[in-house]
Amino acid sequence: MSIAWHYMRDGVQTGPASTDEIKNLIASGAIKADTLVWREGLASWAAVSTQADFAGVAAPAAPPPPPAPAGSADVEQNKVFAVLSYLPPLLFLVPLLAARQSKFAMYHCNQGLVLTLAAIAASIANMILDQILWHIPVIGFLMITLLNLAVFAGIIVLVVMGIINAVNGVCKPLPVIGERFTLVK
């Protein structure tokens, strides 16, 4: 008796299909390694690459494209603009206006813009907390001081990391904020 598999195609459940049919779909590229499959006996839908029946047939999901290599013409011509993206207060606008054609400069411009917006949001939150903590004698002052130092130090660390990435010709996202938002393409 053949196993009846079901698989997701464009968000629609498709099947049943035999193990050999699924293998042929994988080989033809119609089913990718991250395509969800299910058969009776499985607790839930799972990626085809995780199923033993398709071991060796399903290639792992393709990694994301690598960043522009250091030394490429785009990187070398636009490093200065990429570095300017991280300098306050609004220097991310310089690459946005002067190096719009550069993928490298736009990547770092986006990182700089997100960092600037995060710094503004952190400063506003910090001011609100300052107003609340100010009413607590002694401990409030200490907490305000530590909070202000932590926010300032965090922003400085992210600025330095961004500048280092730009100088090294790397398109690496900043921790915490860098991967979540794309405001400039």
Q: Tell me what pLDDT residue 71 has.
A: 54
- pLDDT tens, position by position, 36-87: 999 998 988 998 888 988 887 755 455 555 555 545 777 888 888 888 888 8
Q: Across-strand partners of 46?
A: 37
CB 103, CB 183: distance < 8 Å: no
- Interval 92-106 mean pLDDT: 78
CB 122, CB 177: distance < 8 Å: no
> What is the set of domains in the chain, with CATH numbers?
5-54 (3.30.1490), 73-167 (no CATH)
CB 94, CB 115: distance < 8 Å: no
Helix axes 139-167 and 73-84, enclosed angle (nearest 10): 160
Q: Considering the entire predicted model, what is its pTM?
A: 0.55
Three-point CA angle 109, 69, 67, nearest 5°: 55
Q: Tell me what pLDDT residue 37 has.
A: 92
pLDDT band at 18 (very low <50, low <70, confident <90, very high): very high
Q: Tell me what pLDDT residue 143 has.
A: 84
Q: Is 20 helix (H, G, I), strand (E, B) or coil?
A: helix
- Interval 27-40 mean pLDDT: 88
